[in-house]
Structure 1
Amino acid sequence: YSFLSVFLNDEGIPILLIGVILTVALLPAVALEVPMGNLIDRHGIRKTLVLAAILTTLTGVLMPLSSNLYYTLTIVTAFTICYTMIFIALYSRMSDIMGESKVVMTGAIATVKDLGYTLGPLIAGVLMEFMSIKNTFFLTGVAFALLIPVALLLRD
């Protein structure tokens, strides 16, 4: 998400519209966090995480195929919803595993996530320099596929 603005700018989308797209794309993910938690409670962490990983992979791989503004907005919104579902499922799993040490684990997860938000743009920038922007997004989508076998190994 942190380097979507570069991708959108490369597509020729004006800067102001990029801000609108990124904001609008996040709103459904934020609004759906509680229903996603209910989905996890109803169907289990494993199934939800597998579904989220598959959908995040799919939307990440489809993102470079963006051909117009509406497609871009739709795929970016879908990506952020799926990506958010991964984090909610992982937080739920960590909460189950850690029991009374939840506070420590929550801090550790927040630290790792923030470190990812810090290093992600740097790594993405390096990848974009050596690969194309579209190939970097494709690679990101493929990277999410690595979570699928891990999710399949989990037990609810």
Structure 2
Amino acid sequence: MKEFSLDVASPHSPAAARSALLSPRTWERLGASSAAPAADGLTAVLPLRADQLPDALSRFVRGEAGLQVQVSGEAAGAEPLRLVLTVPGAPAEVRVRLDVRAGGEESGSVLSAQAQLESSVPFLGGMVESALEPVVRTQLAEQLHEVAHLA
């Protein structure tokens, strides 16, 4: 398992940033082909271009690739939000604990992500995780940045 952390600043309040992360409209504005409320959050599917899918995963995915994002938590709560990111058919999963807190002296907020990347490929999982980690880190940062600014 690979773990990494990243912070993304948002010009919006913590409450607005949390609401945006749990809003189907936000994910649709990001290009999600579907975004549906779930029992404790939402599930969105974002299209992936061929160049966004790392070689370590592309051989496992057939047809159109989509990034499935499941967000759970409460918009008004203070507890961390949970994100699970998968590409159906790919032997990897990213679990993210997302804390949204006030941005300090400035108005706005900070989204602090603690991510765990895990591959289910027998014997080679560590190599797959090492190959995926920089790509996942970059794409997660980009997606969180976009969501943080759409609130």
**Fold shared per TM-score above 0.5:** no
Tell me which protein shows more helix as a share of its residues. Answer: 1
Choose 1 or 2 for highest CA Rg: 1
Using the size of structure 1 for normalisation, the TM-score is 0.28
Tell me which protein shows more strand as a share of its residues. Answer: 2
Using the size of structure 2 for normalisation, the TM-score is 0.29
Structure scoring higher RCO (CA < 8 A, sep ≥ 6) equals 1
